[in-house]
Amino acid sequence: MSLLKYTVRRLLMTIPILFGVIFITFILSHMMPGNPFLKPGQFIKGNPEYVRALLEKHGLNDPIIVQFLKYLKNMLQGDWGESLIVSKGIPVWDLIKVKVPVTLEVGIYALIISSILGIRTGVYSAVHRNKPGDTIIRTVALLGVAMPVFWLGILMQYFLSIKLGLFPTIRISTIGYDDPIRITSFRLIDSLLTGRFDLAIDTAWHLVLPVFALSFLQVAGLTRYSRSSMLEILELDYVRSARAKGCKERDVINKHALKNALIPIVTIIGLRFGGVIGGAILTETTFNLKGMGMLFVDAVNWRDYFVINGLVFITTFVFIVMVVFVDILYAVIDPRIRY
């Protein structure tokens, strides 16, 4: 099977997944107790008919399947609905365009850093198996896997921000700094592209703690995967043959062993992208970055159905795109999986 046919087949497989996510999210969000205009345990002030009139106005009194079909039709036409409470009257897509880039920026930076560090530490640990360096790396990796990202964020806020004053406690920029001209929607990159180096430095300074908190957990997990993959490859005959031929140890590790060990590692990196986005939501909530995470929490608290559905859909879409990209990359590296 050609690479093009394989790519088309993988893309077509995502359609029922996205439809299922939209349907399940829509049903579950409407099954939550209360509604956007009356939270559970809240007393109705004034005429109860007012709440019923609001529900009727937004079509929330219709049968659930009728509501879903209307929502799906509008969504296919580019209308994701409007926020009912969180940002009343603002189209959901306009909210997402502002909030999601913050989450993606933190998540992508953390993914890049964790991928580089995780692979290198895993390789070092495998090459120096059962030596002091390997023991230290495995111990730190175990702590990283067991440590919740929000707890690590709180610790760093307390010691590095409050006690030592080295980094800001919250926000993605200093109060009073204006926003750079929007090009990529990533604040740090846009600041560099527009020559606003003062904004770039300020943004990077604010991103150090949240990115480190998120990447540390990802490095810990990826280190273990990389070490395991390298240990398996290093025991194969062709690696021994390369050493027997007199190849330098550095070339044996980087050109022979690592190249083949990267095949499963690339897949793991793609699959962990969803965890990075989920972790970014917790991280930005801890550091008050006002991204997708805080919007999602507010939407759930206020039963803002359309915002919830939009956020879940865009998160799933980004994750699926990453998985498909990794599948295609894997097919390029190893053509056998196309068949």
Does residue 172 carry a pLDDT above 50? Answer: yes
Give residue for tokens 């996510």. 21
Bridge partner residues of 82 (DSSP)? 91
Residues 213/152, Cβ–Cβ less than 8 Å: yes
Domain ranges, residue 111 = 92-178+207-338
Provide CB contacts within 8 A for 77, sequence distance 6+: none
Quick check: is 268 in a domain? yes
| Local structure of 194: helix, strand or coil | coil
Q: What percentage of the chain carries pLDDT values higher than 90?
A: 24
Quick check: is 288 in a domain? yes
CA distance 213 to 155: 10
Tokens for 183, please give them: 């090009």
Predicted pLDDT of residue 41: 52
Residues 117/215, Cβ–Cβ less than 8 Å: yes
Nearest to 209 by CA among 287, 104, 285, 146: 287
CA distance 218 to 108: 12
Rounded to an integer, the average pLDDT of 24-34 is 89
Among the ranges given (27-41, 153-167, 213-227), the one the predictor scored with the smallest mean pLDDT: 27-41
pLDDT band at 104 (very low <50, low <70, confident <90, very high): confident
Quick check: is 226 in a domain? yes
Nearest to 39 by CA among 330, 254, 300, 319: 300
Quick check: is 110 in a domain? yes
Quick check: is 202 in a domain? no
Quick check: is 106 in a domain? yes
| Local structure of 179: helix, strand or coil | coil
CA distance 64 to 62: 6
Q: Residue 217: which CATH number? A: 1.10.3720.10
Tokens for 10, please give them: 């993988």
Number of folded domains that form the chain: 1
Does residue 46 carry a pLDDT above 50? Answer: no
